[in-house]
Amino acid sequence: MNDSRISLRRTTADDMMLYFAWANDPEVRANSFTQDIITLEAHERWFASKLADENTVMYVFECDGVPAGQIRFALANGAAEIGFSIAKEFRGKGLGTEILRRSCEMLWNERGTNLIIRGAVKTANTASSRAFERAGFTTMDDSTNDVFFYAKRY
Ligand SMILES: CC(C)(COP(=O)(O)OP(=O)(O)OC[C@H]1O[C@@H](n2cnc3c(N)ncnc32)[C@H](O)[C@@H]1OP(=O)(O)O)[C@@H](O)C(=O)NCCC(=O)NCCS
């Protein structure tokens, strides 16, 4: 996809319902480490707490101004742990790889290049693993049969 059609912006309070729809997408739930369906009430509380948390950084990824995916970094002890998803209708176009690449650069710009960026992926989730690999992440030694751990440094 043409670079100029893609942009990344900070998540705002107005994105609450967008995130709610994305969070309950069946593939997103299946590939998450907590699989229960999320109620609107629980989501509202969770979303407000993440927006207010200075150790959470969230970006929305847009294609031609249409929201196409989201990525969240949880910062702790010099590392940033990734959670991300691409909206169903935008999957399989290379955007997963692109959001990983671009958001890492943006995070390092905003929070410093010493941060190690990490992701945990269920081994069955081939699309996510491929996206991490193509975005320049390497597999860590503590990976198991069930979960691949990825990391990237500046
Ligand atoms: C994982 C996810 C973000 C990947 O985004 P995407 O935009 O579809 O991925 P890309 O188009 O960048 O594809 C990445 C690679 O996976 C491959 N791929 C895409 N869909 C695939 C599928 N269903 N099965 C196997 N491989 C797939 C692509 O061919 C590509 O590999 P290649 O570069 O060798 O051709 C997206 O599928 C998604 O939102 N899934 C649900 C939520 C999720 O799993 N989040 C990640 C949790 S760790």
Q: Whose CA is nearest to atom 14 of ligand 1?
A: 131
Give the percent of the chain with pLDDT over 70.
99
Q: Give this prediction's pTM.
A: 0.95
Concatenated DSSP letters of 43-61: HHHHHHHHHH-TTEEEEEE
Query: Are the beta carbons of 20 and 43 closer than 8 angstroms?
Result: yes
Please give the pLDDT value at position 60.
98
pLDDT digits (tens, 9 = 90+) for 33-92: 988 889 999 999 999 999 999 999 999 999 999 999 999 999 999 999 999 999 999 999
Element (H, E) at 67: strand 66-76
In whole angstroms, what is the distance from residue 14 CA to residue 11 CA?
8
Structure tokens at 55: 């150790």
In whole angstroms, what is the distance from residue 143 CA to residue 123 CA?
9
Q: Is the CB of 29 under 6 A from ligand 1?
A: no
Q: Is the CB of 63 under 6 A from ligand 1?
A: no
